[in-house]
A and B are shown apart, each in its own frame.
Chain A
Amino acid sequence: MADTPTSRVTYDVVTRSIARTLGNPGKGYFALLALAVALLAVGIVCLLFLLRYGLGLAGYSHPVYWAVYITCFVFWVGIAHSGTLISAILFLFRSGWRTAVYRTAEAMTVFAVMTAGLFPLIHIGRQWYFYWLIPYPNERGLWPNFKSPLIWDEFAIGTYFTVSTVFLIMGLIPDIAAVRDLATGWRKKLYAITAVGWRGTNEQWRHYTRGYLYLAALATPLVLSVHSVVSWDFAMALVPGWHATLFAPYFVAGAIYSGVAMVITLLVPIRKLFHLEELITVHHFENLAKLCLLTGLIVSMSYCTENFTAWFGGNPHERAAFWYRAFGPFWWASWTMNICNGLLPWLLWSKKVRTSVVALFVVSIFVNVGMWFERFVIIVVSLAGEPFERFANATYNPTWADWGIMAGSFGWFFMWFLLFVKNFPTVSISEVKEVLPPPKRAKAVAT
């Protein structure tokens, strides 16, 4: 059965292999965790400086007032996308191979949204006024402007975070019950509480599976809507390079592309650290690579389309913006984006690359780098090359505070992720069992 883990895997092997990941993870795990915490500490120090001295520490230079923080925001929201794609959309399509990888992707989604959510707060400068985004009237009775894409974004990200979190928790409940029944000591107490009395009776499964189906059905359009709304933060403006109807599908494809690449980046070390080779097989990586190839090709097509329309549309400002992207002072960012996102995925046409875990890991890191630069190019380079602002000095350089906070965001994300994989089942126990052939009596097998 192509969609299942190896044939030697039984129900007992599944439960015990996954429960084992909650034991002592070894030095490699703690080294990674220490690195993540160190990066987070760098980010916190930079943020404290930013709080003390204000946004002047960021490299803002007129007209570039959306820069690394908004780039990171869009990057992390994008990373969050493949989680719900794999858990919800592939669930609706009954793709059996998702069972071994979706938990990692879902956890990644939740922590990526948690990371993304920090950046608008950092970007506003006076973080202590963050609650002004909440729809309540100010002292003059004025409400938020619901015609602004920034308010749409707040609702979209808030909904996405909530739904992704409940989706993750719902999927975890039967698996927590499974590890509860094997655990001892304080862990047994913890899992007994978090399993909320789950026993796996037919009646419980009846309601649970139906509810999970509806959650997947609700999460599917949400995945498509959230990054569309993020893209409208830009597309609703008249800035050349932003004002394009292509943006919504272009951003959604890019988000899934970067998210799938990040799932590969995360799964490779987890599989090695926790010895999950029998459950997460090369077949799973190959399917992720195919998804990466598909979305990478859509992204490449979008690059071609936006360049073509800039040339063919006859708008001199639009044409100048794209010329500036490719051959202006930020050419290095544009070409990093084009090479990492447009050319490298072509390697995935080769089955040899798709079935090599090491090669996939390397490609996935390049895709992540390329996708970060894509957001940098769209946001910073479009603003820097804005033709209506030609009088302005548009030299923009990120500062140490920008880089430090960005590094801190990676530390924040990886810290939560590593803590999660150590304390909760990283692979879905019940769903992996669901795609395995059930144990049957010899007579039944013969018939």
Chain B
Amino acid sequence: MKVVNPLTAIFHPPPTPGVLAVFGQLDAAVDAMPRHELEDALDQPVSPVRMFTLVGGIAGCAVGAWLTLYMSYDWPVVVGGKPVGSIPPYVVIMFEMTILFGALSTILGIAFNALFAARRLGTVAYDARFTNDKFGIFVPSEPARASQVESLLRGAGAEEVRRA
């Protein structure tokens, strides 16, 4: 059996067949910068990145509590007449660790979902003008139905249509 390197799927994903249309107006198409009205129109589920943030934040708080309490009781020294494991000053450390771990895991969530997981599904055709002032729609389709998709996109106002 042929062994497939899992990294190949991420960094060199197979191209998805379909039709790419380039639009000059936003109300005719999708892309270029975040537009929440498009998200609403597509009715997509909320991004799972929030779970990364939540789990990271809780883990950070736990690490902060463990760090301070374990290190205090490992060598118990009374400082300033306060209990060895004194919670109020440790809340500062727990808070900072919550933010730190929450932020780092959010980055991990974005990287995993937006950069890697999305690419594993395959690459859609791209045009360098999309990061400037054009919008694009990519319609995955079998070659047999491509001409039908092309005429549909042209009818919707596409400036340019090409097969990928």
B103→A163 contact, CB < 8 A:
yes
A143→B89 contact, CB < 8 A:
no
List the B side residues contacting A180 at CB < 8 Å: 131
Binding-face segment, A275-283, A366-374, A406-414, A439-447: A439-447
**In whole angstroms, what is the CA distance A444 to B27 when docked?**
8
A202 contacts B by Cβ under 8 Å:
yes
Partner of A206, one of B47, B71, B86, B102: B47
A211→B110 contact, CB < 8 A:
yes
A439→B26 contact, CB < 8 A:
yes
Q: A155-B97, A218-B102 are in contact. Are A141 and B75 (CB under 8 A)?
A: yes
Give the number of residues in A that approach B within 8 Å (Cβ atoms). Answer: 64
List the A side residues contacting B110 at CB < 8 Å: 170, 207-208, 211-212
B128 contacts A by Cβ under 8 Å:
yes
**In whole angstroms, what is the CA distance A313 to B79 when docked?**
29
List the A side residues contacting B92 at CB < 8 Å: 152, 155-156, 225, 229
**In whole angstroms, what is the CA distance A146 to B68 when docked?**
6
B93 contacts A by Cβ under 8 Å:
yes
B106→A203 contact, CB < 8 A:
no
**Number of A-B residue pairs at CB separation under 8 A:** 190
- A446 shortest CB reach to chain B, Å: 12
Q: A143-B72, A170-B110, A211-B49 are in contact. Are A159 and B34 (CB under 8 A)?
A: no
Interface flags, A115-157, vs B, CB<8A=1, else 0: 0000000000000000000010100011111110001100110
List the A side residues contacting B77 at CB < 8 Å: 142, 145
List the B side residues contacting A174 at CB < 8 Å: 33, 131
A210→B49 contact, CB < 8 A:
yes
| B112: nearest chain-A partner, CB-CB | A207
Give the number of residues in B that approach A within 8 Å (Cβ atoms). Answer: 66
Known: A137-B71, A170-B110. 17 other contacts (CB 8 A): A146-B93, A147-B86, A147-B89, A155-B96, A166-B104, A166-B107, A182-B128, A201-B124, A206-B47, A207-B113, A211-B47, A211-B109, A212-B110, A218-B103, A221-B99, A430-B34, A439-B26
Q: List 24 A-B contacts (CB under 8 A).
A: A12-B132, A135-B67, A145-B79, A146-B67, A146-B71, A158-B100, A174-B131, A181-B129, A196-B111, A199-B124, A199-B126, A200-B32, A202-B31, A202-B42, A208-B34, A210-B47, A218-B106, A221-B95, A222-B99, A225-B96, A438-B35, A440-B26, A441-B25, A444-B27
> Which residues of B does A touch, CB under 8 Å?
24-28, 30-36, 38-39, 42, 44, 46-50, 52-53, 57, 67-68, 71-72, 74-75, 77, 79-80, 82, 86, 89-90, 92-93, 95-97, 99-100, 102-104, 106-107, 109-111, 113-115, 118-119, 124, 126, 128-133, 157
